[in-house]
Structure formats: structure tokens, C-alpha cells
Amino acid sequence: MRLILLIVTLLLAGSPALARVKLITLPVRQRVLVQLDHEQATLVEEERIVPLVKGVNQVDFSWAGTSIDPHTIVFRLLEPVAAPKATQAEVLAVSYPPGENALVWDVSASASGSFRVRISYLLGGLSKSFNYRAVAEHDESTLTLSQYLRVENFANEAFDDTSIQLGFGDSFEKPIGVNETREMLVAKLPGVPIRKTYTCDVVSNDYLDAGQKKVLIPMHYVLTNDTDHKLGQAALPYGKVRVFQKDTSGGTAFTGEDWGQFTPIDDEMKLYLGVAQDVVVKRTIARRDRTPIAGNLSNYDVAVQYEIENFKDTPVTLDIVEHPANLRGEAGFNSDRGASWTLGDQHTLGAVDAEHSDIEQATFHVELPARKGDKAEKITHKLHLVYRNEWN
């Protein structure tokens, strides 16, 4: 049912028990603003031109069949429109008629004329979601990111020529009909630099073949949400991302889809592309030694060996992620304490990537050359950790 706003004059003669006399249905809304910047609430602001007579008027607002939160309704008088400039008007009181989805404002006017009023409220049944289309260039160095907004209107109310605001970017002027789903392009961002990553992380991804100790290697496109990477104007909302890649003939091929997580400015969005078949990693525990220190204290030496082959005709960077506390347990040294460790003298993976590491995980990068002919060069690396002052 449509929202209805009526004007009622109070009959000042006779009994003080004044009846609601509905005189006129007001004109259509002059302006409607729908703010979708909050995750769980939709704010609607509408403006109307309200005719008032000299004296006390009643403005009657009803919303039968519409999910308005009555405790959030705010009524504001803005300025006279078709009235003397000196005309004054003010809200005297508000009442909620029993048994009705309605409220009534008592409005006093110093002269007859029209006023612009603004009514705002929180509305249920009007929701939004985001989705993306990412088209990578053939060389996978950049992509074009298109962001779409989908608005679903199950509020049982139509909004004509509505201004939609998201809290970022430009607003949209679109009508939204009852039970209508409308999708619109928010932004199209070409030339966004990306990194294609290959990740060895048995805790997060497990083994592809546990018997042969071959690790499952997922591939991702990584987008950095900052101005250096042609993004960074606002956080990227959560939404489904459909990923395509251009081919040599100029067409595009669908490569998969993933759910892009909410990505603040200066953070990264990772888009899953599938499991790599041409980067092979065999991971084994090569060393697990305990050295007593004093009493129940010992140092543990744990080394992990990686045998890596790149069968691609291009060089790639392999990210190796280890979780020291899990690795300690995998080596047979169980403890409830946090892992305190340093790199040992057999370590060959290079320095820890501090930006992508924390107290629970350590990230390293290995550069893999392209294959030569039909053969891939086998590269062997070790991660050597020394855990100090561990309880036996």
C-alpha cells in the first residue's frame, strides 16, 4: 500500500475533543532519497509540498502494509513555498492513533500557504547487494573491474525518480517499483594492476596427494585497494565476482567465480581461480630434533623440505606459508604455549615477508623459472625453525 500523507484542519469551535477531518490528499513526493550505506537499515527521506491554513493543522501520515519503524519517523518543516516569506510554522505535538499504522503532527501556521516538509524513517524490505565482473588481460598483469549494485524492493512501496546513495561514489537517479529488482553499474575501473599468486599452505589448503606429500596449490588474483593500483576511492563491499580472461583473438573466457570479501582501503582482495596443475610442490619434514637445555626445557629443531617444479612456460612466484605452532605439532612436539622461534642455519627460503606474516604464520616467496622445453627445473628449499625453551 502506498504511503499516504493527509492534511487535516482542527475545528476550533465547540468541544475541545477535536475530530480528524481529512480534507485533502497531498501532492506527490517532490524528492525521495534512499540511503543504502548501512548494512542493516535503509534510511528514506522524502520531501513534499504541504498546504497549511492559518491556525492549527494536522498532518496525517499512514503506512499500512509498509514496514516502517514508527519510532524512527522524523518530521521537519523546511521553508515556505507558496506563502508569505514571513510565514512561521512549527510542530506543536505528535500523536499515534490507536490501532492504526499512522501518526499525526499538530502544526501551527501564522498564515495560509504551502510549506516544504521532509519526512525521514527507517524502512524494511528494501535491500542491496553488490557483484563484480573482472576481465583480466591475456598477460594477467591488469584487469577491468566493473562493480554493480542490485536493489531489491519488497517494501510494498514504489519510489519514483529516487535518488539512491551508497555512502561512496555518485548517487543514482532511478525509479524502483514494487517487488522490483534493479541492477545498475556503479563503477568501471580499467587497468587495475593485479598479482597472480600460487600458494603452498598445508594448514589452509591440505595436500593434493597426501601419500606423495604433494601440496594443493590454489591460484588467486590479488587486487590492492589503493590509489597506486587505480582503486582506493572507497572500501570494496562484499559480493560475488565473476572472473574472465581475454584470449589472443580479443574474446573473453570465463575462468571462475569467487566471493570477494569486504576490502577496506589499503587492503587486498583475493579472488580464487582454481588449483594449479603446472606448479608442483612436494613437502616433507626433513628434521625433528630435540636438544635438552635444563630441567624440563628443550630446544626443538624442525626443518621442512620443499621440492618444487614449475611446468609453466612463464616464471612465477610461489608463496610458501607455514604456521609455526602447527608445524611444531606436526613434528611431534606438542605444546599449549605459543610458538617462539627463530630461523635456523639450514634455512634457504630467504627473509620472512613481514607484511603478509603475523604471530600465527610466516610467509616466504620463491621465484620459479619457466620450464626449458618439456622439462621443469626441480628446485629444493628448506625452512629451518628453532623453537627455544620449550617444555618437554
Assess whether pLDDT exceeds 50 at residue 12. no
Asked if 147 and 185 touch (Cβ cutoff 8 Å), the reply is yes
Q: What is the pLDDT of residues 101-143, one digit of tens each?
A: 888 999 999 988 888 999 999 999 888 999 999 999 999 999 9
Average pLDDT, the chain: 89
Read off the pLDDT band of 166 (50, 70, 90): confident
- C-alpha to C-alpha distance for 258 and 16, rounded to whole angstroms: 66
Give the position of cell 524513517: 121
Read off the pLDDT band of 338 (50, 70, 90): confident
Q: At 2, which amino acid appears?
A: R
pLDDT reported for residue 11: 41
Selected residue with higher pLDDT from 36 and 268: 268
Half-sphere exposure of 4 (CA within 13 A, CB side): 16
- C-alpha to C-alpha distance for 5 and 292, rounded to whole angstroms: 83
Q: What is the pLDDT of residues 252-275, one digit of tens each?
A: 999 999 999 999 999 999 999 999
Partners of residue 143 on adjacent β-strands: 136, 192
Selected residue with higher pLDDT from 37 and 77: 77
Per cent of the chain over pLDDT 70 is 93
Assess whether pLDDT exceeds 70 at residue 197. yes
The domains of the chain are located at 4-123, 125-194+223-272, 279-391
Three-state DSSP at 198 gives strand
Q: What is the pLDDT of residues 48-83, one digit of tens each?
A: 888 888 999 988 888 888 889 999 999 999 988 876
